[in-house]
Structures are given as structure tokens and as C-alpha cells.
Amino acid sequence: MVKTERGRDGLRRLDRTIGIPTVAALSIIKTKRQIPTEVGAIGLVALGAIGDTIISVGSAIPVLRQAFPQAKLSLFTSKSNSSIAPLLPPCDELRIISVTDPIHSVSLLRSLKQDILIDFGPWPRISAILAALSKARFTVGFKTPGQHRHYAYDLAVEHSGKIHEFENHANLLASIGVARPAWPRITPSMAALKRINEEHPRPYIVCHPWASGFRSEMREWPNGHWQRFAAIVAQNDWDVVFTGGPTDVARSEMLVAGITPNDNKVHDTAGRYSLNETAALLEGSACVVSVNTGVMHLAAAINTPIVALHGPTDPVRWGPLSDNARLLLPNSPDTAYLNLGFEYPDHAKSCMHMIEVDEVISALFNQLELARAN
């Protein structure tokens, strides 16, 4: 749960100012090619955050195996995102590439000689440039309105801001003859489940307060709301377990320290567990309450009941892929405007505080009641 390169605004600006003319120049010298009739190697480029990778690669791998049973599948991802790879359906090879070291990344892609290279990114120009320079026999990626990145692909697939990102990825796969995927599903390891069962024997609710990426603070519920929420849940005889990554440790300690009464029922685990162990923690929970971030998508892939707190993020585009999810939005017209994740209006104001504590409590106990009934 490390913050990814996508959260660095300077890189995003550089990607746009340099990336657009670079893609345009590459398109002039590039000849469009047809998909190979024989496919022995397929590369999957996933440089987004953990949630994006779960939605895209987690659903794509099984159907790619069915469509190309003889092909070797290689996942190309960032170092910070690589921790999700062991939880996904297995690829044959995992390789780390970096947007800050494009020369090495291009060299690596060229050396592995992919027959098909699939770029799952909807907006970064750098991944389109890497695809164009990869020497893959055929490249496919998104044509996203306003991003000027699609010229370098052999096949560009229309990306829509009106459907869930999962549907966009399904359309991307369909363009090369691959069947529609199922929603991604993840199972933590037995060792991780054993540790969590030993350390959290009482029934518990998981709370994940921390978002990631560009202006992540705009997608976070206020600490005071979390504190009042956790105190009420603990008073109803549930343990409450707060999760977070290594960069969230100090903030998480401060949040949990302000919860009263606690009675040893509220636990801070930020920075303590690996992603695999976090997945096991989510699987063992009665319900997960989370802002829209990678942990929310991880909980959906595990099929744990969820209360998902949305604000600027559009749940139509980025909601959890789960039938066990309850989505909450502030009662305000100025919400759900994020499509690709960075389209904040000038002077945007936080709206997450408008999701009331009582509303989240009601949604939680409704989810618990539904789980008991099933």
C-alpha cells in the first residue's frame, strides 16, 4: 500500500508537456500492423495504482489464458505496484519498469520481444511511448478523449468516461478477440490467513481511511468522523481494525489515539501487514468501511461486505466490483466529478465531511444484517 508514481503531480505535468509531442512524432514514423496469427508472448503494461491493476490485470489474465493458451504472459508494472502481483492470477513473468527511467524500461521491453503488448493505462503518455518503442509485433491501448496518446498504437480502443473502468478494459480485450472477463477475485495465502486469525480472534470491522494519488486528501473522510464512528462500533461490541500503508503510520496513530472510549477494541495496524496479510485481514472481517482506494477494490475482489465512501470519485466509474457493496455519496451536487482521477475544478472544496457518521453507521449495520441473513 505504497503511494504510486501517479500521485506525483510533477511527473503528470511532464508526461503531458513532453509526452504529447513525443507520441505525435512517433506516430509519423510508425506503420500500423495487424495482430499476429501466431502469439507466443503477451505483455501486460499496468503502471496505475493497485486498485487499477486489480480491475484490469486481475480480470484479464484468466481470459487471456483461455484465448491464447500457448502464450507466455508477462506483467510489466511499477515497483510500488508490484506487491499486488502475487495475489493476482499468476503470470509467467513479472518485470519492473519505471516512468522515471524510460531508457531502461524500453531496453527491457525490447529484449523480451512481445507478440502483443497491451497497455491498460487510460491517460499516461509514457506508457504509450514505451509501447511504441517496445518492438512488440502488435500494440493495443486506449484512445482517451483529451489525452492525445493513442497515435502510437497499432490498435486504439475508445475509452469512455461514462462506464465503469472494468467495462473499458473488457472492451480493450474484446478488440483482440478475447472473451468478456469476470470480475476479479483474490484469495490471500494460507500463511497470511493463519497470522490474521491468531492476531484478531474476535469479530471485527476493518476501517481504511487513507486514499492515494493526486490530491488524495480530497477523497478522505475527516478524522473526527472516523473517531466518532469507531467509538460507536466498539460500544456495540465489535473490534475495529484500522489499516494503512507505511506512509500512513503517523496519521493512523494520531487518528486512533483520539478514539474514546476504546476499551482495547480499536486497533491500529497501519504499516504492520504486507498486502497479502492485509487481504487476509479483509477476508476475515465482517465488513470493510473504506474510502475509494486500492483497499476498497481489494475488499471487493475478496467479496467481503463493503461500505464505500465516495466524494469526488465517481462510483459509476470507479465503484467496487461487488454485489456486497453499499455506496455512500455526500448530499451535494458537487460530487462524483473525477473520471481519470485528476480533474479537480479550480478552487475545489472537500465534500467528504458531508457524509454523516450516522449514515455510515446505518449502512454498516445494514450490511451486517444482510450478511447474517445470507
Give the tens place of pLDDT for each residue, 153-183: 999 999 999 999 999 999 999 999 999 999 9
Q: Are residues 169 and 93 in the same domain?
A: yes
Distance CA 205, CA 230 (A): 9
HSE-CB at 218 with a 13 A cutoff on CA atoms is 21
* 325 neighbors 366 (Cβ within 8 angstroms): no
- Domain annotation covers residue 162: yes
Q: Are residues 156 and 196 in the same domain?
A: no
The bridge status of strand 116-119 relative to strand 204-208 is unpaired
Domain tally, the chain: 2
- The whole-number pLDDT of residue 357 equals 98
Q: Are residues 248 and 339 in the same domain?
A: yes
Enclosing domain of residue 100: 5-174
**Sheet strands side by side (includes 325-328):** 266-268, 239-242, 204-208, 287-291, 306-309, 325-328
The last residue of one of the domains, among 129, 148, 174, is 174
The last residue of one of the domains, among 123, 144, 174, is 174
- The whole-number pLDDT of residue 3 equals 41
Output the DSSP codes for 351-365: -GGGS-HHHHHHHHH
- The region of weakest confidence among 142-146, 303-307, 341-345 is 341-345
- Domain annotation covers residue 44: yes
Measured N-to-C along each axis, helices 223-235 and 249-257 cross at an angle, to the nearest 10 degrees, of 50
Q: Are residues 297 and 163 in the same domain?
A: no
pLDDT one-digit tens code per residue, 48-58: 899 999 999 99
Residue 148, by phi and psi: left (phi above 0), alpha (psi -120 to 50) or beta? left
- Three-state DSSP at 279 gives helix
Q: Does the structure show a pLDDT above 50 at 257?
A: yes
Banded pLDDT at 9 (limits 50, 70, 90): low
Please report where in the chains the cell 473504506 appears, as a residue.
290
- Domain annotation covers residue 182: no
- Three-state DSSP at 334 gives coil
Q: Does the structure show a pLDDT above 70 at 4?
A: no
Nearest residue to 361 via CA among 199, 217, 221? 221
Cell of 321: 466490483
Banded pLDDT at 25 (limits 50, 70, 90): confident
Distance CA 92, CA 184 (A): 18
- The whole-number pLDDT of residue 2 equals 39
pLDDT one-digit tens code per residue, 87-121: 999 999 999 998 889 999 999 999 999 999 999 99
The mean pLDDT of 67-84, rounded to a whole number, is 95
- Domain annotation covers residue 180: no
Percent of the chain whose predicted confidence (pLDDT) is above 90:
83
Mean pLDDT of the chain: 93
* 127 neighbors 15 (Cβ within 8 angstroms): no
Q: Are residues 214 and 350 in the same domain?
A: yes
The bridge status of strand 239-242 relative to strand 116-119 is unpaired
Residue 216 belongs to domain with CATH number = 3.40.50.2000
- Domain annotation covers residue 75: yes
